[in-house]
């Protein structure tokens, strides 16, 4: 009987050893996957940070472009107002010159 018990115990130990080896291999595989996942996470976080910086820079540039466009429009309006004033002044000066030359002719 003892031989049977020893054989059964050895078989159970072999089975247990195989289960332990399999569990150890699974643990190693899971650790490798975890490490790869963590590396990928770090990489993705860095990519996200870069993308967020680029988006912020893009928003800033868009805002600056909008401000520049508004300034250009204001300058165009100002230029048009100045043109109108200069045209009116030139017309007034021409009118004064015409009046002065007409008066000079009358005096002669």
Q: Mean pLDDT throughout 7-15?
A: 83
pTM of the model: 0.51
Confidence of residue 102 (pLDDT cuts 50, 70, 90): confident
Query: Residue 58 to residues 45, 48, 72, 84: CA-CA distances in angstroms?
Result: 20, 15, 21, 39
DSSP for 73-98, written as a single string: HHHHHHHHHHHHHHHHHHHHHHHHHH
Confidence of residue 40 (pLDDT cuts 50, 70, 90): very high
Looking up tokens 């967020």, which residue turns up? 52
For residue 95, is pLDDT > 60?
yes
């Amino acid at each position: 009987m003892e031989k049977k018990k020893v054989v059964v115990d050895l078989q159970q130990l072999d089975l247990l050893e195989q289960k332990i080896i399999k569990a150890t291999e699974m643990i190693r595989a899971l650790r490798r996957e975890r490490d790869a996942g963590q590396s990928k996470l770090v990489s993705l976080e860095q990519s996200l940070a870069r993308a967020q910086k680029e988006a912020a820079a893009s928003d800033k540039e868009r805002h600056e472009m909008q401000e520049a466009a508004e300034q250009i429009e204001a300058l165009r309006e100002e230029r048009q107002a100045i043109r109108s004033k200069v045209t009116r002044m030139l017309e007034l000066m021409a009118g004064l010159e015409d009046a002065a030359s007409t008066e000079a002719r009358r005096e002669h």
